[in-house]
Chains A and B, each alone.
Chain A
Amino acid sequence: MKKDSNVIELVNIGTVYEGERLPVIYDVNLTVKLGEFISIIGPNGAGKTTLLETINGLLSYDKGQGFVFGREIKKHKSEIRREIGYVIQNFEMDPLAPFLCKDIVMSGRTGKIGTFRFAKKSDWDKVWYSMGLVGMIDFAKRPIGKLSGGEFQKILLSRALAQNPKLLLLDEPFSNLDYASRKQVETLLNRIHEKYNITILLVSHDLSFVPSRCKRVIVLDHGKIVMDGGREKILKSDIINSIFNGKGEKT
């Protein structure tokens, strides 16, 4: 079965973690078209990370069917992943970690280059280009552990971009950033979306940062999609207030 027109097509998806009984996300139906820029918002523990990792196959779903680029996720994991750029939720980086930024950005291309092949000049060109895109070219030879939160986030983003992805999955790219860096990353995402028409799914627990080019917002709560629609409508609705319990930075 092939579903060609959509980038993502999830039908009644449910994902259970190993050793758990109850699914963390369930009855998830989601259709994403080429070039869409979508924000998925929901409080901590809503299942946002789980949803993203179900889409790129890091977690396998137990119910329903999932397709990415018209291919069933379970059967074509590694091919699908080569076309997906994933920016992982913030993780601790050992300050002494022995990796240079350029090598981390290059590591995004590993799957694309393929086993038994070596990085060519054209691969390095992609690396320099995507580091330039996020304005981090001067950091190429800096150790990865010595970056600020915003710089690290930008390197992870450029790592994903170096992959030339058709789909970008961003897990809380604004967390741990101050206002100025958030703005920078937001502008960057808008620009990338405008320029390359990449399909973007952006996960955030914070209502106040929905980038301007993002026209569709999905609200996830307790593992279910509770709202899905145009940005204006959703951000103004009442349900959002109750879900975020007045904790959303903005209403």
Chain B
Amino acid sequence: MIDFPSTLLITSILGALFAGFACSTTGAFVVRMNLASIGYLMSHAAFAGAAFGLMISIDPVLGAIIFSFGIALILGPLAEKARLESNIVIGFLFSFMIALAFIFLNFIPGNAASARALRILWGSIFSVSTNDLVMLSIFSFIIVIFVVIFYKELIAIMFNRKLAESSGINTRLYYFAILFLTGIAVSLSIRIVGGLLVFALIINPTSTAYQFFYDFKKIFIFSPIIGIISCLVGFWLSLISDFPIGASIVLISAIFFTIAIIFSPKRKRGKLKIHQKAS
């Protein structure tokens, strides 16, 4: 272990905490609405965007946001049309994004290029700036407001989009809002967790919470809690072991998920417990 100035340490810890919160809260939507493949693509687009940002010397977070919004704009309408094979389009765009990312990385100016490039691939806890922290906390606040204000609409849509639409909700608006929020969450977290693994932080905590709860309110509460714990423990693991931070966080969240699958009360058969069940 090395010694760090305590402000740097605090910034990093807060960064991990907010990244965990932002990703795992949007994850609650992504998991339930089957947006996994779109989100996965989005995180790689954000990676390509960050590389692009580094190449033209702007804030990589800005590049990431631009690219992931582009994906939301292209894929949102596509995924709405059931007839179009959106999986094929996703597969195509996925490889295209990776190719772009590698090309951009190649052209990043300066000597430190490879180090900076690697950081947005693997993530790096000490690249969190105060600026990032402010953006992450504002975004976390926005997500909380979004969930609180539109809770009833979100529940209706996540249960069944057609029924939600039929009771007078403009579901498309919410669908796109969720895509954009996911894009921002991914983009803001990419510097910490890394472009290759940020998506795991979206999926794993919610999937873990899913193993325990039947009430979506609890998923909304516990999936960020699990996300935050994963990030903090992952941070600690990275400090003591020198593992890359992104890998540590994903490792921890994967362990949580595995434990959850094994001990999930949802998957257990009640022993000698008579369940009243009408036919």
Interface residues of A (CB under 8 A from B): 18-19, 56, 58, 78-79, 81-82, 84, 86, 88, 91, 96-100, 103-104, 106-113, 115-116, 118-119, 143-145, 148, 150-151, 159, 163, 178, 180-181
Contacts and interface: CB of A to CB of B under 8 A. Distances in A.
Given A78-B168, A86-B166, A143 B277 contact: no
A18 to B, nearest CB: 7
B153 interface: yes
Nearest to A100: B215
Given A96-B266, A144-B159, A116 B149 contact: yes
A86 B277 contact: no
B75 interface: no
Nearest to A143: B214
A150 B278 CA distance: 9
A73 to B, nearest CB: 13
Contacts of A56: 166
A83 to B, nearest CB: 9
A86 B278 contact: no
Contact of B160 (A81, A84, A91, A145): A91
A112 B279 CA distance: 33
Contacts of A112: 167-168
Contact of B168 (A100, A110, A151): A110
A98 B166 contact: no
A107 B152 contact: yes
Interface residues of B, number: 32
A5 to B, nearest CB: 24
B167 A88 contact: no
B152 A86 contact: no
A119 B219 contact: no
B166 A178 contact: no
Contact of B215 (A78, A98, A116, A178): A98
Nearest to B219: A98
Given A96-B266, A98-B215, A88 B155 contact: no
Contacts of B160: 88, 91
Interface string B261-279: 0000010000000000111
23 contacts: A19-B83, A56-B166, A79-B168, A81-B167, A82-B167, A82-B168, A84-B166, A86-B166, A86-B167, A88-B160, A96-B210, A98-B213, A103-B216, A104-B159, A107-B152, A107-B163, A110-B169, A144-B159, A148-B277, A148-B278, A148-B279, A180-B279, A181-B279
Main secondary structure of the interface of A (DSSP, over half): mixed
A110 B166 contact: no
Contacts of A91: 160
B165 interface: yes
A103 B155 contact: yes
A228 B155 CA distance: 39
Given A98-B215, A100-B215, A107-B152, A18 B81 contact: yes
Contact of A58 (B152, B155, B166): B166
B170 interface: yes
For the complex of A and B, list the 9 residue pairs with the smallest distance between their C-beta atoms, beginning with the closest. A111-B168, A143-B214, A107-B156, A86-B166, A81-B168, A82-B168, A111-B167, A110-B156, A78-B168
Interface string B115-156: 000000000000000000000000000000000011011011
A151 B278 contact: yes
B113 interface: no
Interface in B239-279: 266, 277-279
A100 B278 CA distance: 17
Given A88-B160, A145-B214, 19 more contacts: A18-B83, A78-B168, A81-B167, A84-B166, A88-B163, A97-B214, A98-B210, A98-B215, A103-B155, A104-B159, A107-B155, A107-B159, A107-B163, A110-B153, A110-B156, A112-B167, A113-B152, A115-B150, A159-B163
B164 interface: yes
B103 to A, nearest CB: 35
B214 A81 contact: no
Nearest to B165: A58
Contacts of A163: 167
Contact of B167 (A96, A107, A150, A180): A107
A180 B18 CA distance: 53
Contact of B152 (A18, A78, A119, A150): A119
Nearest to B170: A78
Contact of B163 (A78, A86, A143): A86
